[in-house]
Amino acid sequence: MTDRRPSARPLRIGVISDTHGLLRPGAIAALRGADHIFHAGDVGDPAILDALRAVAPLTAIRGNIDEHGACSHLPANEVVELAGHIFYLLHDVQALDLDPTAAGFAAVVSGHSHKPRIDWRKSVLHFNPGSAGSRRFSLPISIGFLTVYADRIEPELVELS
């Protein structure tokens, strides 16, 4: 992928996960203006992918609910380079079977737990936007953003109403 942004403008990546077949209008509205979108699995309905692609270029992986059915064609994980940073997407961070630092990843993006989380481990960002689908337990409905500069990534979690 060729990065054609002016060098002074940061890249804004919208991050969504665990939609489970439900794409809320508030999620689409919040993601408008993103330069790229990551979906970290448990899509549930391929129409969600089409709707997200209408907003921005999309990288999506499958989650455990996508292993069979209409979203089973999605990869289990993905490595994406954007704005000079390498991102590793997998659905369940507990399945991480490599050293992100040694692999040169700037960030590991996951879902599955439905718990929004920002964690730095050995200078690698571990980012989970939480769940944007149906409410589970008392967890928030949320998405996230990664603002990518030449020298850093700034994570942000956004709770949807």
Domain locations along the chain: 11-159
Q: Rounded distance, CA 127 to CA 111, Å? A: 8
Confidence of residue 137 (pLDDT cuts 50, 70, 90): confident
Confidence of residue 6 (pLDDT cuts 50, 70, 90): very low
Q: Rounded distance, CA 86 to CA 100, Å? A: 10
Please determine, for residue 1, whether its predicted confidence score (pLDDT) is greater than 60.
no
> Is it true that domain 11-159 has CATH number 3.60.21.10?
yes
Confidence of residue 107 (pLDDT cuts 50, 70, 90): very high
Tokens of 61: 């992986």
